[in-house]
Structure 1
Amino acid sequence: MGAAGPFAGSGKAPGPPMDRDEVDRALARLGAEYEAIETSLLALQDHAGRRLLEGAELTGVTKDRWAATEQSITVLWGYFEAYSSALTSARELRARRRWSSREDLVELTDRLRGASVTVANPTAQLTSSITGPAKLSEQFSLEELVARMNDLYARSLDMVVTADAVWSALPARIDLLSAELQRTRSLAHSVGVRPGEHPSGDELESITHELTTLRAQVISDPMAFWRPAPGSSAPGGGRPDTDRYDRSARALQDIRGEIDAVLRVRQDSEERLIRLRDVLSRADRTLTAARSARGEVLAKIAASEVPAVSGPATALQERLATAAEYRRHSQWHRLSPLLELLEREAEDELLRARESLTAVTAPLAVRAELRGRLDAYKAKVARHGFAEDPLLIERYDAARRMLWSAPCDLRVAEHAVLRYQQAAAEALTQREPGPSGPTDRGGY
């Protein structure tokens, strides 16, 4: 967009004289063009975006483009006045006689089709030629003048509509986000999230500065925040550039989520601290049981590797005390992340204690399984009438002594149980002879 440069008329002859009907049709067409151009110019003159541009303290791209657009609008009005004067003069010439003479028709043809409109060169004082001064005037036909006015109008309107679209979209959205920012800052202050004390407090200050700067830049230089639509030639084709606004909005949304989390901590911190104490207490009781079980295993199971059992989670207990201190002093912004970390670590501690208890008591579980298996086979052979079998009695007594003595060697005891199983299986097989009869291989 900008002021029109010097455009010379086409210079071609208007052609053969028009007849009266052609003259009347041409005047009607040019009159309609006149009315359309006048309506458009008045609408441009009253456009809200134009009034805002005239009253704003512009900077940057918008300042330069508005200066060019103002010159274009001035040129446009000059062209319109010349067009109006030429059209009025042609109408007056046609109105002299009902039946225009040939001389009148020749003159009307020249005025309506030829380069008969003289317009002062709007850039004559701003330009110079290597060979001499710039031309002070230009010659146009009425049709050329209409085309030139349409072009200047489209470019001027594009500037006005674009600036108005940015001003209509961004400042209002920035104001709404700023109001939300103030509410968030108030909430943040109430829970101790302040600049210099918490990263989110510093971020809120940064967003405040960004929105203030962004609004001032949008007001003074709206054209810097416009993205033209690719391939669009329509005035105002495109959309406002909201990237900086969107970044601030996302950052504020993230911080609001953090503040909401802190507010929830303020509401349910006591209950969460109670749950944490309970989880750590269960972990301590489980570790105590594991230590007790380890002593029992070492006393009752021989030749077995028993893992060591760690002590209580004193570090977690100390940090839990710190969390309680934060709560007493209403330091919610510090309590929130500490509680989340403690909850994860406390669950891990309870799981570790349970795994330790399981690992320590594994030999006792193996011994209990062997005892159960031995008694189950004894009951089975008794049902089949082999309760008094000497070999079975001997092997059962040997396995039982090993399993019920302390310390118990699990490897030797397991071998004794297997010998009893084999003897029982052989006895049951002899009871039911036959090539296709079932054979008990020691399963139960």
Structure 2
Amino acid sequence: MLRGTGEAIAGQTLDQSGAGAAAPMSREGVDHALRGLRDERERISSSLAELERQSAVRLLAGARLTGETLRRWEDARSRLATLWRLFDAYQRVLEEACELRDRSPRPDVATLTELSGLLSGCSVELPDGEVPLEHRTLLGPQERRITLDEAVAMMSDAYEFVAREVAAADAAWTALLRPLELAEEGWRTTARLAHSLDGTRHPELDRVGRELTALGRLVRTDPLSLVRNGRPDTGRLDRVRAALTTLGDELGGVARMRDEYDVLLARITAEIEEVEDTERRARDAYSTALAKIHSPNLPAPSAGLATPLRDRIAALERLREAGRWVEMAGRFAELERAAEEALERARGDLRLSAGLLDRRGELRGRLEAYRAKAARLGLAEDARLTELYGEAREVLWTAPCDLRRATAVLAEFQRAIRASESETGTRR
């Protein structure tokens, strides 16, 4: 970005005889070189000023950096300081050349030689400690001066290094700071909600808060430590935000329970009353089945399922009076599950007893349907069918009813109807 026109200048310094000795530039060559170098200086100056104005540079300079980011910024800051010092040395040479040319409207050979040395020779004094490796020996630097072209090349390298490091930090902050701020705001909102519910500390919320504090410190002071394969890694932030979302949903549910508690209490109370009613019906059905069904083999229905549920409601009321809504929400959820299980158990008991009575009713209905079919077929006076019907009816309408025998007699009655129907069809 900063590389300039030094090669064009160097090409004008060779002796025309081809012997390779440096020759002074012509007046036109000097003027051409100065115009190019002035333009080059303006572009370099603009680039450096723009770099200094970057918000990321100001942020890096003002932040309390640590770790990887601190190490890389110190390297970049050192290179940036050297770049400015080198640019200052570069400008001094250029200004000296411009002043010399301005003082000599018609420069003689000595002046042209001096100008050529400034524009294409080793005229730029390097800042302390910045002698390139190729100019060093085991005993130290041999040369502390470089050409304008070499100065531009060194400045370009330094500029690219600084710009690359600044861009990396800026990309990391851009990717991490906004999600961090959203997470922090989410934590504050969730913490306020938790405090409004019971005023006590929430262990999981505290754990997430500690993780978020550590992560916030890392994002603000060492964002480059969170870069993986050239890209900012938001994995830890994503996990924190997911945990906060879960906590927020849970606490939101607690808040809704607090606000709608009377409605929820009425609903769970109605469910417990349904448990009691179903238990009663199951006991009645069980007693009826014992009286009306022969050898029912029924287990006794459950009893007292609603009593511990009502005790839990009383415990909930004590938590409510103490304002312990978070604990209360967990207990309420447990009560809901227990009420559902109790109701399903009572319904199961009812189905077992009622199922036997329903089976007897079904067999009675099928018997009358087969009798009506026999009458339609003109078999109402058939002796065998009349006997089977009477036997089945006696079993089904006698208490206790033997369902197994009734099922067998009914099946025989059905087969007899089919057989008689076939014989009638054959005769026809």
Quickly name the TM-score band, shorter chain normalised: 0.7 to 0.9
Which has the larger displacement, 166-175 or 283-292? 166-175
Mark the runs of 5 or more structure 2 residues left unpaired by the alignment: 1-9, 16-22
Judge conservation of contact 2:122–2:148 (CA < 8 Å) in 1. Answer: yes
Equivalent residue letter for 1:203: E
TM-score (norm 1): 0.77
Give, in whole Å, the separation in 2 of the partners of 1:24 and 1:229.
50
Judge conservation of contact 2:197–2:325 (CA < 8 Å) in 1. Answer: yes
Give, in whole Å, the separation in 2 of the partners of 1:130 and 1:92.
36
Judge conservation of contact 1:14–1:109 (CA < 8 Å) in 2. Answer: yes
Of 362, 375, 379, the match for 2:355? 362
Judge conservation of contact 1:290–1:360 (CA < 8 Å) in 2. Answer: yes
Match of 2:192 in 1: 186
- Which residues in structure 2 correspond to 1:20-419 (within 5 Å)? 20-45=27-52, 47-51=54-58, 53-95=60-102, 97-98=104-105, 100-101=107-108, 104-122=111-129, 131-132=138-139, 134-135=140-141, 138-160=144-166, 174=180, 177-192=183-198, 194-195=200-201, 201-219=202-220, 221-224=221-224, 227=227, 230=230, 242-313=234-305, 314-419=307-412
Equivalent residue letter for 1:383: R
Equivalent residue letter for 2:84: W
> How far off its partner does 1:145 sit?
0.2
> How far off its partner does 1:393 sit?
2.4
Per the alignment, in what secondary structure is the counterpart of residue 126 of structure 2? strand
Per-residue Cα deviation, 1:89-139 (whole angstroms, up to 9, x for no partner): 333444455555555545444432333333243368xxxx9954x338522
Equivalent residue letter for 2:152: V
> How far off its partner does 1:376 sit?
1.7
> How far off its partner does 1:192 sit?
1.1
Mark the runs of 5 or more structure 1 residues left unpaired by the alignment: 1-10, 196-200, 231-237, 438-444
Judge conservation of contact 2:120–2:147 (CA < 8 Å) in 1. Answer: yes
In structure 2, the CA distance between the partners of 1:55 and 1:287, relative to structure 1 (3 Å rule), is closer
Judge conservation of contact 1:14–1:114 (CA < 8 Å) in 2. Answer: no
Give, in whole Å, the separation in 2 of the partners of 1:21 and 1:103.
15
Match of 1:442 in 2: none
In structure 2, the CA distance between the partners of 1:386 and 1:176, relative to structure 1 (3 Å rule), is closer
Which has the larger displacement, 265-274 or 141-150? 265-274
> How far off its partner does 1:170 sit?
5.7
Query: CA RMSD for the aligned pairs?
Result: 3.5
Instruction: Name the count of aligned residue pairs.
Output: 406
Per the alignment, in what secondary structure is the counterpart of residue 369 of structure 2? helix
Per the alignment, in what secondary structure is the counterpart of residue 141 of structure 2? coil
In structure 2, the CA distance between the partners of 1:40 and 1:346, relative to structure 1 (3 Å rule), is same
Per-residue Cα deviation, 1:341-390 (whole angstroms, up to 9, x for no partner): 32233223222222222222333233222222222222222334333333
Give, in whole Å, the separation in 2 of the partners of 1:270 and 1:119.
83
> How far off its partner does 1:148 sit?
0.7
Match of 1:4 in 2: none
Taking only the aligned residue pairs, the percentage that are identical comes to: 35
Equivalent residue letter for 2:277: R
> How far off its partner does 1:67 sit?
3.9
In structure 2, the CA distance between the partners of 1:374 and 1:216, relative to structure 1 (3 Å rule), is closer
Give, in whole Å, the separation in 1 of the partners of 2:389 and 2:171.
97
TM-score (norm 2): 0.80
Of 415, 422, 428, the match for 2:415? 422
Per-residue Cα deviation, 1:196-227 (whole angstroms, up to 9, x for no partner): xxxxx1233334444444445555x3454563
